[in-house]
Structure 1
Amino acid sequence: MGDRLVCVGSYTEDSGGSGPGLTVLREDAGGTLSTVAELGVSGCSWLAWHPRLPVGYAVNELDLGGVTAFALDADGTPRVLGTLDSGGSAPCQLTVTPDGRHALVAHYGSGSVAVLALDERGVPTRRADLAELEGSGPDPDRQEAPHAHMVTLDAAGTLATVVDLGTDTLWSYRLTPEGRLVDRVASRLPAGCGPRQLVRAGGQQAYVVTELTSELIPLRESAPGVFEPGEGVPASGWPERNHCAQLALTADGRFGFVSNRGPDTVTAFALAGDAAPRVVAEHPLGAAWPRHFSLDGRRMYAAGQTGDVVVGLELDPATGALTERVRHPVASPAFVAAVPER
């Protein structure tokens, strides 16, 4: 396997961290990671890529949130293409529509989701819509108001589902060609669970990971955007409070992985249709507070936020087992993923 570029987003001083913002790493054929370049991008806690253009997007997780579009030069050096106010506070996640016309942004702080229009270069130019959520949950510290933690799209890119940690709700909207969010439907999850991330697994099967009860909950999407929860499975054997963060599935859907902040592990689940998820193994990362990880074929990259390290692991596709390959220092990493090949 030849060289590849890996992008790391980190919390900066103005967002409670000590990182540079955007760091570009190169992984050579032997698996060694080295730093190519850094770019100052405030509150760079989540990254996404345009489906066709060589353009990336970073949230600016600040009180006055924004989205920064960037490109990588031939040698991997990043440069800013443009930044746009996202219309809310503490944007923590974003996704781009399959047609490349819009980016959708989840605001944890203000409990809203924005739709940003992208021009022919992939640069955000204006806010097409802003959907504000309402309600609360039983946890007075974390659920005093809505907290949108993720917005995900169906395969067609016309159905947007917002994961609201603050109200234990999945809010689904139809996304119009003009970028408007309409026809809202609410799917309620168990009270106090604090949903964080949602992944569709094909057909009617989906999964949600919860932060407050630290579970992987299977879901049935009985109609587009309508979710019925099954029985949750604990994400860790840790005896103290766990704070689940990231959820990802292998391409074949056989395994799901959840990162656990506190025990600082990644748990592998065997997945089989309607059957309850089954824990296969819980892998210690040796990297404190693993906020995000990504899967890239047989490789996993994990960001240890308070451990100031990025860890690369090898995934056994037959068993779901993980083996560490490499680690590389990056201050306050919040997101890490390989750059898509174009």
Structure 2
Amino acid sequence: MKKLLLILIAAFAMMNVKAQNPIQYLFVGTYTDGGANDGIYVYKFNPNKGEATLVSKTSGVQNPSWLCVTKDARFVYAVNENGGDKPGELSAFSFDKKTGQLTFLNKQPTAGYAPCYVTVDESGKNVITANYAGGNITVFKTNDDGSLKPYVQLVAHEGYGVNVTRQEMPHPHQVIFSPDQKFVFCPDLGTDRIYQYNFNGSEEKNVLTPANDPGYITVDDGTGPRHITFSPDGKTAYLINELAGNVIVFSYADGRFTPKQTIVSTTAGDKNERGSGEIVITPNGKFLYTSNRLAANDVALFKVQTDGSLLENGKQPVNANPRGMMVDPSGRFLLVASQNNNTIQIFVINKNFGLLQDTNVKIDVQKPVCLVMTPVN
């Protein structure tokens, strides 16, 4: 009987171990302001406790304000958002999952200014950047060791918007793959458009070609499209608009967006520059969150209805200038990077209602912007 009891206890313990959410590496991209901090920080994030432990950091990497990780987590790519009249660059790193260390490989010019977003396809062979102040998109191919070849394609946007201060020219703000990796979309804050491209990953030069003539859809004047996120089932797309401070909900299928709802993210401050920033959805697709900077400095909460539309669910005050934001893969925590407060706040997500509870646990890091996770094992 005693032996049987020990076996049962051991089995129960194993069940508990398996039930634990896997530990994640958390990559943090920051603004260095000419070398004031270390650039990219790597933490181990425990989703069972909501705690993060610093593992490593880079040095001499200027303004890695946005980064992405390959599907196999062997390589990391980060834009260098060099300021003023300095052209932007894209840096490549190898990543050792055993030690959590990043090793610089090389960098290439993005042929544009102020690159603000980077993404990589599932094969790891195509890396794409959005150059905010350059008004263009750059496509790179990678070598077998993860290093970058010189860019193979430069796609320029044209036009301007009604906001003479913020929309004087095109401002690509994101490049994101469709859920099936057949398309690449680019919300352009300066032209009030979402550009649509066919993704031809095996091509050497014409990786992106216009999709769905004329190759873009338009939103209302002065809206200022910033970032898109997709529902887990890929049937709904959500667009956060920086200038208008709202979210447009689209039905999505085969590269086409059909608008179905517009809902307010914030009404604080200047009506022509609300400062809305990031948009994220929980892994189960039940809750969606948007960050609002400038006058608001909060996170807007939404419940996702069965048809993909949104229902307002309150506001959560956060530290100043919430830029990047992410829901961890377990769906238990929302991490908010507050650039001006040099902190990443960690909130517990109520699994039934989507409300946020501040854990009062924060990660101190200078000017955090971008948050990305990948499993340790």
Correspondence 1:86 to 2:110: yes
Equivalent residues in 2 for 1:182-201, closer than 5 Å = 182-184=209-211, 185-201=215-231
- Matched to 1:64, the amino acid is P
Q: Does 1:238 align with 2:268?
A: yes
3-state DSSP of counterpart to 1:127: coil
For 2:223, give the aligned amino acid.
C
Structure 1 residues 295 and 31: alpha-carbon distance in aligned structure 2, compared to 1, 3 A threshold: closer
Does the C-alpha gap of structure 1 residues 273 and 130 become closer, same or farther in structure 2, counting only changes over 3 Å? Answer: farther
**Matched residue, 1:178:** 203
In 2, Cα distance between equivalents of 1:38 and 1:138: 42
Using the TM superposition, give the Cα deviation of residue 93 of structure 1 relative to its aligned residue in structure 2, in angstroms: 0.7
Matches of 2:50 and 2:256 in 1, distance apart? 43
- Counterpart Cα distance in 1 of 2:336 and 2:251: 29
1:25 aligns with 2:43: yes
1:270 and 2:303 aligned: yes
Letter in 2 for 1:272: Q
* Alpha-carbon separation, structure 2, partners of 1:136 and 1:240: 20
Q: Which of 34, 42, 51 is matched with 2:71 structurally? A: 51
Q: Give SS of 2:167's match.
A: coil
Instruction: Identify the range of structure 1 (61-70 vs 137-146) with the bigger mean alpha-carbon deviation.
Output: 61-70
**Between Structure 1 and Structure 2, how many residues are aligned?**
338
- CA separation of 1:19/1:279 partners in 2, compared to 1, >3 Å: closer, same or farther? farther
The structural deviation recorded for 1:26 is 3.1
Structure 1 residue 270 displacement after superposition: 1.1
Greater helix fraction, Structure 1 or Structure 2: 2
Pairing 1:330–2:362 present: no
Extract unaligned runs of 5+ from structure 1: none
- Distance across 2 between alignment mates of 1:95 and 1:211: 20
Deviation at residue 19 of structure 1 after TM alignment:
3.5
Show the counterpart of 2:80: 60
Which residue among 286, 291, 297 is the counterpart of 1:254? Answer: 286
Instruction: Give the conservation status (yes or no) of the 8 Å contact 2:243–2:275.
Output: yes
Q: Is the 8 A contact 2:179 2:230 kept in 1?
A: no
Matches within 5 A, 1:275-314: 276-285=309-318, 287-296=319-328, 297=330, 298-314=332-348
Unpaired runs of at least 5, structure 2: 1-19
Q: 1:101 to 1:316 in 2, by over 3 A?
A: same
Taking a change above 3 Å as real, the CA distance of residues 175 and 3 of structure 1, as seen in their structure-2 partners, is closer
Quote how far apart the aligned CAs of 1:199 are: 1.7
Q: Counterpart of 1:87 in 2: which secondary structure?
A: coil
Aligned-residue sequence identity (percent) comes to: 27
Larger radius of gyration: 2
Return the offset for 1:281. Answer: 2.1
Counterpart secondary structure, 1:232: strand
**What displacement does 1:216 show?**
0.9
What is the Cα-based RMSD across aligned positions, in Å?
2.1
127-136 vs 238-247, greater mean Cα deviation: 238-247
Contact 1:310–1:336 (CA<8 Å) still a contact in 2? Answer: no
> What is the match of residue 35 of structure 1?
54
3-state SS of the aligned residue for 2:150?
A: strand
- For 1:211, the equivalent position in structure 2 comes to 242
User: Residue 226 in 1 paired to residue 256 in 2?
Assistant: yes
- Deviation, structure 1 residue 275: 5.9
Q: Is the 8 A contact 2:325 2:337 kept in 1?
A: yes
CA displacement at 1:225 relative to structure 2: 3.0
TM-score under structure 2 length normalisation: 0.83
Query: Are positions 1:7 and 2:37 aligned together?
Result: no
Aligned CA distance change for structure 1 residues 127 and 233 (closer, same or farther; 3 Å): same
Supply the AA of the counterpart residue of 2:317.
Answer: P
Cα distance in 2, alignment partners of residues 31 and 280 from structure 1: 23
CA distance in 1, matches of 2:236, 2:23: 35
> Relative to 1, partners in 2 of residues 1:330 and 1:234: Cα closer, same or farther, differing over 3 Å?
same
1:22–1:53 distance in 2 versus 1, CA, 3 Å:
closer
SS in 2 for 1:306: helix
CA contact (8 A) 1:186 1:226 kept: no
Matches of 2:255 and 2:157 in 1, distance apart? 16
Q: TM-score, normalised by structure 1?
A: 0.92
